[in-house]
């Protein structure tokens, strides 16, 4: 599972090895062999690496671009638009 967190300045991105400064956001993901799992090794991603990995998305809310760490389906309540 994944958790969006705010760095206190002591977290390092496990991908680019960059120290994530306060108050930047980062993402903690439980992974097993590179695959997201419920419980595994916790990998920390800075926002840039999360974006590259596809774990983060930019979303426009009320005219402002914000970064979200969750899939679209979990952040927006969409009407049923299923179609063939
Ligand atoms: Zn990084």
Question: What would the 3-class secondary structure string for the chain be?
Answer: CEEEEECCCCEECCCCCCEECCCCEEEEEEEECCEECCCCEEEEEEHHHHHHHCCCEEEEECCEEEEECCCHHHHCCCCCCCCC
Residue 40 in domain: yes
Note down pLDDT in tens along the chain; length 84 residues.
889 999 999 999 999 999 999 999 999 999 999 899 999 999 999 999 999 999 998 889 899 998 888 765 554 444 555 555
The answer to whether position 73 is within a domain reads: no
| Domain annotation covers residue 65 | no
For residue 35, give its domain range. 2-54
Give every CB contact of residue 47 below 8 A, 6+ residues apart in sequence. Answer: 24, 25, 26, 27, 56, 67
The tally of domains found in the chain comes to 1
d(CA 32, CA 43): 10
Say how many Å lie between the CA of residue 33 and the centre of ligand 1.
Answer: 18
State in Å: Cα 29 to ligand 1 middle: 13
Instruction: Give the distance (Å) from ligand 1 centre to CA of residue 84.
Output: 39
- Would 25 be classed as within a structural domain? yes
Cα of 81 from ligand 1 centre, angstroms: 35
82 inside domain: no
Domain membership of residue 30 (yes or no) is: yes
């Amino acid at each position: 599972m994944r958790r969006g967190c705010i760095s206190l300045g002591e977290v390092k991105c496990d991908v680019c090895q960059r120290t994530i400064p306060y108050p930047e956001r980062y993402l903690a993901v439980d992974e097993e062999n590179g695959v997201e799992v419920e419980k595994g090794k916790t990998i920390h991603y800075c926002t840039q690496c999360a974006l590259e990995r596809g774990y983060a998305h930019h979303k426009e809310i009320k005219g402002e671009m914000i970064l979200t760490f969750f899939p679209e389906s979990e952040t927006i309540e969409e009407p049923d638009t299923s179609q063939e």
